Amino acid sequence: MTDTVWLDEENDLLMYIDQTRLPQETKICSCKDMVELFDIIKRLSIRGAPAIGVGAAIGLYAAASRFEDESEDGFLYSLRRSAQYINSSRPTAVNLAWALKRMVKRAEAEAGKGVDGIKAALKQEAKAIYEEDIETCRKIGEFGEPLIKDGATVLTHCNAGSLAAVRYGTALAPIYVATERGKRVSVYSDETRPLLQGARLTVYELAESGIPVTLQCDNMAASIMATGKIDAVFVGADRIAKNGDAANKIGTLGVAIIAKHFGIPFYVCAPISTVDFECESGKKIVIEQRNEREVTEMHYKSRMTHPDAKVYNPAFDVTPAELITAIITEKGVFKPDELHQIENNA
């Protein structure tokens, strides 16, 4: 598989796989302005916390490279406004704000070198964020791989594989590394209602990689865990609070509760950039509420419920730290209450 997001350096374009078209079509698209970038992230053409961050960084550079401001002050003003606008597209995924803040900070540090100098620095920073994501996800895989025994069966929810990052992903990175090292690993993937990221994306990328994968409806997780077939659960995260509470795709909390009941280890895999050390607990995490049509009409030929029905459609839920066995990062494996050890290095 190709990278999920990347920079076309010759034309200064954000390139990406449109994930709304998978698995029926693998379509490569480009983006060059902030309005389009907002829409791409909002409608989940680029999705997954790491991919959103990298895509936002590259996309912000692509847009900034076309700014017509001739003065540094005007350019920096346009850049800050663009970053604020793009950041509002997905409020829960902390990697989005992290990457945009890093890009703006780099631009401000280059003040005095002219607009062209700032643009060159932004390009360099976007490329650095891209390269770091590849290395980070690989390291998450290497730290998580020893937790997967040969012949293990893993359950995952949503998509936190290569399609959620540049390569490797987070929750699936240990599986990819384990497979590279000769371990036999099979996966059960929750379909992940209502957007079906598990059915459309996780199954697609695992099957394309030759890893045995079984699709199941979300409400079948308890049933398969009760059989004793599941050795571990690996999931990603869009934001992790300072106390170890983790926000991930809606339905993750239920999986964690069931895993706790059956004594199955529950691992959250995420880069340190996903840890929000300014957020004391999961109660402070803003949960994105999405359009009701995702529940009532998407993936159906016609509306599947009564026209007067109200719809509750949060994009994420928060898994309390006490349900999480460990958090796997590029710096190592930590208990939720050990995250403070890496705070100063984040």
Are 40 and 26 within 8 A, CB to CB?
no
Q: Is residue 120 domain-shared with residue 152, that is, in the same domain?
A: no
pLDDT for 251: 98
Q: Is the pTM of this model over 0.85?
A: yes
Q: Is residue 252 domain-shared with residue 339, that is, in the same domain?
A: yes
pLDDT for 346: 62
Q: Is residue 221 domain-shared with residue 82, that is, in the same domain?
A: no
Q: Is residue 160 domain-shared with residue 37, that is, in the same domain?
A: no
Catalytic residue among 3, 190, 238, 245: 238
Q: Is residue 113 domain-shared with residue 126, that is, in the same domain?
A: yes
Q: Is residue 197 domain-shared with residue 282, that is, in the same domain?
A: yes
Q: Is residue 252 domain-shared with residue 235, that is, in the same domain?
A: yes
pLDDT for 92: 83
Of the three residues 120, 138, 156, the one that is the final residue of a domain is: 138
pLDDT for 133: 96
pLDDT for 342: 85
Q: Is residue 123 domain-shared with residue 224, that is, in the same domain?
A: no
CATH number at residue 94: 1.20.120.420
Q: Is residue 66 domain-shared with residue 192, that is, in the same domain?
A: no
Residue 104 exposure: Cα atoms within 13 Å on the Cβ side: 20
Of the three residues 88, 104, 138, the one that is the final residue of a domain is: 138
pLDDT for 1: 59
133 is catalytic: no
Q: Is residue 275 domain-shared with residue 126, that is, in the same domain?
A: no
My answer on whether omega of the bond before 314 falls inside 30° of 0, hence cis, is: no
pLDDT for 345: 66
Residues with Cβ within 8 Å of residue 276, at least 6 apart in sequence: 94, 239, 240, 241, 242, 285
- The boundaries of the domain holding residue 105 are 5-138
d(CA 167, CA 246): 22
pLDDT for 28: 97
Of the three residues 105, 138, 171, the one that is the final residue of a domain is: 138
Q: Is residue 145 domain-shared with residue 210, that is, in the same domain?
A: yes
Q: By C-alpha distance, which of 165, 108, 107, 113 is closest to 140?
A: 165
- What percentage of residues in the chain have a pLDDT greater than 70? 99
Q: Total structural domains in the chain?
A: 2
Q: Which residues of the chain have pLDDT under 70?
A: 1, 344-346
Q: Is residue 177 domain-shared with residue 295, that is, in the same domain?
A: yes
CATH number at residue 337: 3.40.50.10470
